[in-house]
């Protein structure tokens, strides 16, 4: 049975044969007059006309003086190349990487990229084709593209192959692009300005997460990779901007899960002179706009079997209370129940109890256990002040914040709130968070004294909102790793690679 090394060795022999003919197997220039989709869509207009097309070879068939090659470009359709001796050029320009067809078709393999000039036609079987006059080799592939790829580990490690042989995976990342494009389009229509802020920060803030640490040689100082977009965007409100957003990568040094990746893309917006009520209305319109633009639907059946329906324009999502949920489901008063009572409930429901768990982490575990059954969409409200150091308190100062989390599919998809702009209150809350960090909670927020100073110059009342591409993964019905093109994996070098590159230190 032929091995990958056998196939590769055969292609290397063809590579040398091509060079022996004076053909450059990797020319720098390609020409194309039409893509494959246009050939199919405009066949009636193009029939009989000469075109130049490019693509990757997916199959080769030869029958004496006839040959058929199928190529594919960036679109979803294939194109047949019809090769008949007598129709093809007899004199070729080797310096232009041209091959004689069909005589030298054996020097081609599936996976090679070619450029073909010829006439648009239909074969006797009715197949839209290009009758080949000239064929140029653009890239010689040294490894065969498999016809299928099902092993999950290999799919993740060689995603470029996965996207070639699994069209649904390729289409997923086209939708992912549409998802972020729709996000940007909606916000720009609403008058928001996109401002890309730095990834390296002196203080990691804006979320409860453990940051990655790096070192900048130029300043001889450690920096954190941002865990949130929040605080720089709020500084822009201090600077006089009224509607700003940022889309980009953020980094949280936490475990992998079905819903989380240490590196992922996210978006946050901040809106001066708006509060959480206005933020909820904007969120309803935003999520519907994105669903329409990305999937052309508002009703989804998720991977866990839950059905989510974002409803009609103007309809409001229901609200559920964090405080009431914990009281009704667990008999826990978020303000008065003792830590012993909370730990007992964690044990009763089979949830992990750690020595360093504090009130915030323990209550959050109870909520997350219940959250799994919430299909949504709903807004979670009534988040206690001690759990959210960056949000304004509700009117009446009842110990609850003006925060809302969009929940659907058993998960929180966004966090948003009326922003705290009282510098004295903000400093007090930062100090409380710093005390938690000092007590061993690595996810508690750091004291950012520069942000406190910024607030002292004055920040208008505002609403802020953030979500990650977990929204996309959920509606797409895939896990986090399936939802990104190239997920991080532990580095491994397989034995086949070691055999193929014996002189390389791996």
Residue 355: the pLDDT is 66
Residue 15: the pLDDT is 97
Residue 92: the pLDDT is 94
Is the per-residue pLDDT at 356 higher than 70?
no
Q: 167 vs 10, 148, 170, 412, CA distance in Å?
A: 28, 11, 5, 30
Which H helix or E strand runs over 130?
strand 128-139
Across the range 120-126, mean pLDDT stands at 94
Question: Nearest to residue 473, comparing CAs of 129, 61, 180, 51?
Answer: 180
Ordered domains of the chain (ranges, CATH): 4-139 (2.40.50.140), 164-318+376-483 (3.30.930.10)
Q: At what angle do helices 339-348 and 359-371 cross, to 10 degrees?
A: 30
Q: What is the pLDDT of residues 431-470, one digit of tens each?
A: 988 888 888 887 788 888 999 999 999 999 999 999 999 9
Is the per-residue pLDDT at 397 higher than 80?
no
Q: What is the pLDDT of residues 172-227, one digit of tens each?
A: 999 999 999 999 999 999 999 999 999 999 988 877 788 999 999 999 999 999 99
Map tokens 């055969």 to a residue.
Answer: 10
Percent of the chain with pLDDT over 70: 99
Distance between CA 113 and CA 306 in Å, rounded? 44
More confident residue, 140 or 124: 140
Residue 404: the pLDDT is 95
Q: State the average pLDDT for the chain.
A: 93
Distance between CA 480 and CA 425 in Å, rounded? 37
Is the per-residue pLDDT at 98 higher than 90?
yes
H-assigned helices in 190-299: 230-238, 276-295
Local structure of 353: helix, strand or coil? coil
**By mean pLDDT, which of 10-24, 34-48, 261-275, 341-355 is the weakest?**
341-355
Which H helix or E strand runs over 380?
strand 378-381
């Amino acid at each position: 049975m032929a091995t990958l090394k056998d196939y590769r060795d055969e292609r290397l022999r063809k590579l040398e044969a091509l060079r022996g003919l004076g053909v450059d197997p990797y020319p720098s220039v390609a020409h194309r007059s039409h893509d494959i989709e246009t050939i199919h869509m405009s066949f009636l207009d193009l029939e009989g006309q000469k075109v130049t097309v490019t693509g990757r070879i997916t199959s080769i068939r030869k029958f004496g003086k006839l040959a058929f090659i199928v190529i594919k470009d960036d679109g979803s359709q294939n194109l047949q190349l019809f090769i008949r001796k007598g129709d093809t050029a007899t004199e070729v320009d080797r310096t232009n990487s041209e091959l004689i067809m069909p005589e030298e078709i054996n020097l081609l393999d599936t996976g090679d990229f070619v450029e073909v000039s010829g006439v648009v036609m239909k074969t006797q079987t009715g197949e839209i084709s290009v009758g080949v006059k000239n064929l140029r080799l653009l890239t010689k592939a040294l490894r065969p593209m498999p016809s299928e790829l099902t092993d999950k580990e290999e799919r993740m490690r060689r995603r470029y192959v996965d996207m070639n042989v699994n069209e649904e995976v390729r289409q997923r990342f086209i939708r992912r692009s549409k998802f972020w494009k729709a996000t940007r389009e909606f916000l720009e229509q609403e008058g928001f300005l996109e401002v890309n802020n730095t990834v390296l920060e002196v203080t990691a803030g804006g979320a409860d997460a453990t940051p990655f640490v790096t070192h900048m040689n130029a300043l001889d100082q450690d920096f954190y990779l941002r865990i949130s977009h929040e605080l720089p965007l709020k500084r822009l409100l201090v600077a006089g901007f009224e509607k700003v957003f940022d889309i980009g990568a953020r980094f949280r040094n936490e475990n992998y899960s079905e819903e989380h990746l240490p590196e992922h893309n996210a978006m946050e917006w901040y809106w001066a002179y708006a509060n959480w009520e206005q933020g909820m209305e904007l969120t309803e319109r935003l999520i519907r706009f994105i669903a329409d633009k990305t999937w052309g639907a508002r009703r989804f059946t998720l991977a866990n079997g839950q059905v989510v329906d974002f409803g009609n324009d103007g309809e409001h999502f229901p609200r559920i209370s964090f405080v009431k949920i914990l009281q009704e489901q667990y008999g826990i008063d978020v303000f008065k129940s003792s830590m012993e009572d909370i730990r007992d409930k964690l044990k009763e429901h089979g949830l992990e109890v750690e020595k360093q768990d504090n009130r915030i982490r323990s209550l959050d575990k109870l909520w997350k256990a219940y959250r799994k059954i919430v299909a949504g969409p709903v807004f979670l409200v009534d988040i206690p002040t001690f759990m959210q150091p960056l949000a304004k308190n509700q009117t009446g100062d009842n110990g609850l914040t003006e925060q809302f989390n969009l929940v659907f599919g058993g998960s929180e998809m966004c966090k948003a709130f009326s922003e705290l702009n009282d510098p004295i209150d903000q400093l007090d809350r930062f100090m409380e968070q710093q005390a938690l960090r000092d007590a061993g909670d690595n996810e508690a927020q750091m004291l950012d004294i520069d942000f406190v100073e910024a607030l002292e110059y004055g920040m208008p009342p505002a609403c802020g909102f953030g979500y990650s591409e977990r929204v996309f993964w959920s509606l797409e019905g895939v896990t986090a790793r399936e939802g990104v093109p190239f997920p991080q994996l532990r580095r491994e070098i397989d034995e086949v690679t070691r055999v193929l590159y014996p002189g390389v230190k791996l």
